[in-house]
Amino acid sequence: MVGITFDKEKVSINIARLKKEGINFEVAIDADLAIQYKKSGNVDLREVLKSEDIFFDVKKGELASESEINRVLGTTDNFKAAELILQQGDIQLTSEYRQKLRDEKKNRILAIIQKNGIDPRTKLPHPMTRLENAFNEIKVHIDEIKPAEDQIQDVLRALQPILPIKFEKKKIQVHIPAIHAAKCYSTVKNYGEMTRDEWQNDGSWICVVELPAGMIEEFFDKMNKLTHGEIESKEL
């Protein structure tokens, strides 16, 4: 998971902050690109930064002194200092940005439910408007950082008392080589219920997972990326 914390104070810009030797070093950032940068590093640092300056306090516009940057961070190069702040520090997100992420996750979750769920009385999918109206009646927390797929079951449990929903499920058996097995475990578990879970003598992993039929294509896309296509599978 990306190392992210949330500033309790209302701020008007997203920042990355590193506290070292009791001193805060901050940079102003594009939140989307900063999160991507911390996940993969495959983003140009100049695109991540809103400013090349290093601050003690971005909100107050208080610039960090070159001597303190050099003493604590060991460099006089602002880009190298910013790189350290992003790599070792935390991302502080504005309340507006957190709400944007929650809305995106909610829409993603409802789209998955609409695609995979049916009304057991009519055997037809629920219209999106009906799902949105039902969602507005329930009290369920959407985590802005946690993947949407990991939150579907919580939302379903909250929706089902007021809106009957049933997912058509299928069982898939997968055999994953030892080199990829450990990193795939949590991903498989998040997509559905494991009914078989066996580690082989060679370190490979065989499992059977029951998941919504409409998510099978997405599941295999994800697994193929994680294993570089080195996966054996069959539908049971």
Q: How would residue 146 be classed by pLDDT, with cut points 50, 70 and 90?
A: confident
Domain assignment of residue 65, given as a range: 4-92
Q: What is the mean pLDDT of residues 152-174?
A: 89
pLDDT tens digits along 169-178:
889 999 999 9
Q: Where among 58, 92, 126 does a domain terminate? A: 92
Q: Is the dihedral of CA 71, 75, 77, 83 positive or negative?
A: negative
CB atoms within 10 A of CB 41: 11
Are residues 203 and 216 both part of a single domain?
yes
Are residues 86 and 47 both part of a single domain?
yes
Question: Which residue(s) pair with 149 in the sheet?
Answer: none
The model carries a pTM of 0.58
pLDDT tens digits along 200-220:
999 999 999 998 776 788 889
Are residues 18 and 47 both part of a single domain?
yes
pLDDT tens digits along 32-47:
899 888 877 788 999 9
CATH number at residue 45: 3.30.1250.10
Q: pLDDT higher for 175 or 192?
A: 175
What's the structural domain count of the chain? 3
pLDDT tens digits along 82-105:
999 999 999 888 888 889 999 999
Are residues 130 and 117 both part of a single domain?
yes
Are residues 11 and 86 both part of a single domain?
yes
| Helix (H), strand (E) at residue 157 | helix 152-159
Q: Give the per-residue pLDDT at 69.
A: 94
The size of the chain, in residues, is 236
Distances in Å between the Cα of 104 and the Cα atoms of 8, 21, 97, 140 are 22, 37, 11, 15
CATH number at residue 178: 3.30.70.240
Whether 186 shows a pLDDT value over 90: the answer reads no
CA angle, corner 152, sides to 150 and 157, nearest 5?
125
CB-count burial class (<10 Å; 0-12, 13-18, 19+) for 161: exposed
Are residues 76 and 45 both part of a single domain?
yes
